[in-house]
Amino acid sequence: MSGVPPDVSAFLPFAPMPDRDSRPYWDALGEGEFRLQRCRECDALRWPARALCNRCRSFDHAWEEIDATAKIVSWIRTHQVFAPALRDVVPYRVVQVALEVQHDLLLIGGWLSSREPRAGEPVEMQIVEGVEGFRFPCWKPIVA
């Protein structure tokens, strides 16, 4: 994975294990799209993907392409080698973001900048190639 920033490389050696609920999410990323479930009863977005709406308990939902802009809520620099595949990429940064379309949806991802992230900073998603044909969401600063 040469040429990939270390903060992104930390995510890429691991393939997700999509299940019945999350497969459409991973399939959409594979097509270069960011999709989440939207409840057809209460209109809330759902993440992580699941069969049941956490707000109204409805099973009725649809997958919808979502605007992938967010703000950084938190971030961490990891120095510990948690898996042998990460030995050459520590330290790396992971950001947690709140989506602009629904602030209670928090996602994590790699950081696509050489500088430190800042809490409250606006970011946008970039989908990055990973292993076994999977793609992963990473975040980069929005340049005004």
Domains of the chain: 6-141 (2.40.50.140)
- According to DSSP, residue 49 is labeled -
Q: What's the mean pLDDT in 7-23? A: 80
| Predicted local distance difference test score (pLDDT) of residue 3 | 53
Nearest to 97 by CA among 123, 66, 72: 72
For 80-90, the pLDDT digits (tens) are 988 887 888 88
Write down the mean pLDDT value for the chain.
90
In whole angstroms, what is the distance from residue 1 CA to residue 122 CA? 27
